[in-house]
Amino acid sequence: MPNIRLSSVFLASALALSPAASGAETLRFASQGDIGSMDPYVVEEVFTSGFLGNIYEGLVRRAPDLSIQPALAESWELLSPTHWRFHLRKDVTFHDGTPFNADDVIYSADRVRAGASDFKNRLPSDAKVVAVDDYTVDFITTEPNPILHYTWANWYIMNRDWAEANGVGDADKAASEESYATLHENGTGPFQLVSRAPGVKTTLSRYDGWWGEGSVPTNVTEVEYTPVPNAATRVAALLSGQLDVVFPVPVQDIARVEAAPSGKIEAGPEVRTMYLTMNQWRDTLPGSGLEGKNPLKDRRVREAMYRAIDLETIHARILRGRATPAALMVAPGVNGYSDSFKRYEYDPDRSKELLAEAGYPDGFTFTFQCSNNMYVNDEAICLAVSNMLAKVGIDAKANVQAKAQYLEAILSPNMDFGLAMLGTTPASLDSHIALYSLHMCPRADENSAVWAPDDLAKIVAGKSNFAGYCNPEIDRLANEILIETDEDKRNALINEAWTITTDDVAYIPLHQSWGAWGVREGVGVEVRADNIFDWRYVTVAE
């Protein structure tokens, strides 16, 4: 008897498998980490919000070329510089069949700004959201913001009825009870959740009632996502045909994947800019032993560091040509980028001269904090930079750590670094956010000290400026850029600001890496510069 039961289980599993094998097109893909939560307001992280963008939708979305497209809003207009009107799409239903309307937008606007939402900055806290009718919503802000909706592509609209019926409260990271929204969804997007085992496997299927059916190329009906943190395992699984798409493929494995008959690489420059941040506000440079002295406050020393780094060789050897050297803190494609800016030339001799002028002919020592699992070849780049700085006499002691320990060291309140490597992606794809959070003075008001320990909670502008770069002129320009509605004037102001920060050597921009997607032969994908994987553009050959 047990035998018969056993074989019926076999049969059942075989039957369960067969539709996927014949009729349906399944996309099996893997990346390094799992999504944090199915709740779209809990974790702002590229992979999670990109993943959820296939399930949930915002009022707007970004096309493969990152241009803004209508999504749940069909169109919008600016009634005055502070008054926006959005016209909603009428034929939309959530995955449970509930029709979508203005009330859901109001609910989402409230929830995204409440509790421990990671997306609070999508909408100013004092902005009013008003339903004019079932399919028209007004946003009224106190300050003009010409790019209000630029960051809305991953502010996803949730369904009020569903949330309230299931007791979904505000986003709460310190909760003691599991939220219903953590493992369930009710979006409007083309894919809906079938099953999810966090950290193991998530399966999704096509939502038949999607409003956009036929407007995008995808023929995928099933999606299986597996987190595979180990890069070698990921590449191996692609090469052995177990997966259709893997991301990221380490640069050194690109050639191998391309050479394999079953695989190919889809790559393009990322919009994330990698940079080195130099601690300019501590009175004693961390790790230097120079009591009361911080050489990095001296512009000449910063230029000397800049010129000591042979980016071309890093580019050729470590990134194997798959990167775009950067002279600015924003990437091509971000509004306000200009190729008129040039990198300071690699010139170790000039570097030594500058160090001597600044009074450090024999160099100095400091702590160089690096991650080893956050960015493309971050560890190798860090060690190479450390070796290059050694050649001009600067001893940058590389401390390579995993993300958790690394972030703890460099973020507020510790900010314990002389030099650190980071990447930045402006969410709005506009220069203002980069100026605002990375270049404005991190202080409570004009008279306080930078990163004064008592003011940490009050620092909003310059909140990611852990280097403590502070130039009041930039503060003034950034505030003007925020409210300037004339595009030409605004871009001129941005250009002025970038000129100043470049002259100041506020940061050392390095490059934009190229995100490399390993794709099985016969599968088509659209690679986006923000590394978001939009399944709407995936095709799987029969």
Partner 1 sequence: MNPERSPNLIMRLLDSDAGYKFRSSPVTVVAGLVFVLMIGAALLAPVIAPFDPFDKGSIDLMNSLLPPAWNSGGDPAFLLGTDNQGRDLFSTILYGTRTSVFVGAVSVSLAVVAGLFLGLLAGYFGGLVDAIIMRIVDIQMTFPAIMVALLIDGVTRSFLSRDQHDELAVFVIILAMALSIWPQVARTVRASAMVEKSREYVMAAQVIGRGPWLIMARHILPNVMGPVLVIATINLGVAILGEATLSFLGLGIPAGEPSLGTLIRIGNDFIFSGERWMLIYPGLTLALLVLSVNLLGDWLRDVLDPKSR
Partner 2 sequence: MIRFLIERLFQAAVVLIVVALLAFVMFRFAGDPVAQMVSLDTTAEDRAALREAMGLNNSLPVQFGQFVLRAVQGDFGLSYQMGQPVATLLAERLPASIELSLVAFGIALIVGIPMGVYSGLYPESWLSRAFLILSLAGISLPTFFIGIMLILIFGVELNLFPTFGRGETVDLGWWTTGLLTGSGWHSIILPACTLGLFQMTFIMRLVRAEILDVMRTDYIKFARARGIAKGRINYGHALKNTLVPVLTIAGLQLGSIIAFGIVTESVFQWPGIGLLFIQAISTVDIPVMSTYLLLVALIFVSINLIVDLLYLLVDPRLRVRSR
Q: Where does this chain bind partner 1 (CB under 8 A)?
A: 231-232, 235-236, 239, 250, 252-253, 255-257, 286-287, 310, 313-314, 317-318, 367, 372-373, 379-380, 383-384, 386-388, 390-391, 395, 397-400, 402, 409, 416
Looking at the Cβ atoms of 73 and 421, the one nearer to partner 2 is 421
Instruction: Name the amino acid, one letter, at 128.
Output: K
Q: In this complex, which beta carbon is closest to partner 2, that of residue 34 or of residue 310?
A: 34
DSSP-derived letter for residue 216 is S
**Contact partner at residue 228 from partner 1, partner 2, none, CB < 5 to 8 Å by partner kind:** partner 2
Separation between Cα atoms, residue 320 and residue 231, nearest integer Å: 17
Contact by Cβ (8 Å): 431, 487: no
Residues in Cβ contact with 123 at an 8 Å cutoff, skipping those fewer than 6 apart: 109, 112, 113, 129, 139, 148, 155
Which amino acid type is present at position 476? R
Q: What size, in residues, is the chain?
A: 542
92 contact, one of partner 2, partner 1, none, CB 5-8 Å limit per kind: none
Q: E strand or H helix at 396, and its extent?
A: strand 395-401
b/e map 117-142, b = 16+ CB within 10 Å: bbbbbbbeeebebebeeebebebebe
> CB neighbours (10 Å) of residue 517?
25
- Least distance from C-beta 490 to partner 2, angstroms? 22
DSSP, res 322: -
For partner 1, which is the closer residue by CB, 42 or 396? 396
- Residue 263 and residue 518 in contact, taking contact as beta carbons nearer than 8 Å: yes
Rg, C-alpha atoms of the chain: 25
Using CB under 8 A, pick the residue from 3, 67, 80, 176 that binds partner 2: 176
Binding span for partner 2 by CB under 8 A among 6-14, 126-134, 277-285, 356-364: 6-14
Residues 483-512 that bind partner 2 (CB under 8 A): none
List 1, 4, 15, 174, residue binding partner 2 (CB under 8 A): 174
**Ranges of H-type helices in 317-450:** 348-357, 378-391, 403-410, 431-438
Q: Of all helices (H) and strands (E), which one includes residue 50?
A: helix 46-52
| 287 contact, one of partner 2, partner 1, none, CB 5-8 Å limit per kind | partner 1
Of 181 and 421, which has the nearer Cβ to partner 1?
421
326 and 342 Cβ atoms separated by less than 8 Å:
no
309 interacts with partner 2 by CB under 8 A: no
460 in contact with partner 2 (CB under 8 A)? yes
Contact with partner 2 (CB under 8 A): which of 19, 81, 167, 229?
A: 229
Per-residue DSSP letter, 315: I
| Contact flag: residue 13 with partner 2 (CB under 8 A) | yes
Rule CB under 8 A: is residue 237 a binding residue for partner 2? yes
Q: How far apart are CA 425 and CA 515, in angstroms?
A: 13
Of 109 and 382, CB closest to partner 1? 382
At its nearest, how many Å lie between partner 2 and the CB of residue 461?
A: 10
Q: Please state, in angstroms and rounded to a whole number, the distance separating the CA atoms of residues 150 and 434.
A: 14
Choosing among partner 2, partner 1, none, which partner's interface includes residue 416 (Cβ < 5 to 8 Å by kind)?
A: partner 1
By CB atoms closer than 10 A (0-12, 13-18, 19+), residue 93 is middle
Name the pairing type of β-strands 273-278 and 419-424: antiparallel
Query: Cis ω on the peptide bond leading into residue 144 (within 30° of 0)?
Result: no
Under rule CB under 8 A, which residues in 353-392 are in contact with partner 2? 373
State the minimum distance, in angstroms, from the CB of residue 255 to partner 2. Answer: 15
Least distance to partner 1 from the beta carbon of 454, Å?
A: 24
Note whether 104 binds partner 2 by CB under 8 A: no
Output the CA torsion sign for 170, 173, 176, 182.
positive
* Residue 318 binds: one of partner 1, partner 2, none (C-beta under 5 to 8 A by kind): partner 1
List contacts with partner 2 (CB under 8 A): 6, 9-10, 12-13, 17, 34, 36-37, 39, 42-45, 116, 118, 120-121, 172-179, 182-183, 197-201, 226-230, 232-234, 236-237, 239-242, 373, 402-405, 407-408, 411-413, 422, 424, 427, 437, 456-460, 463-464
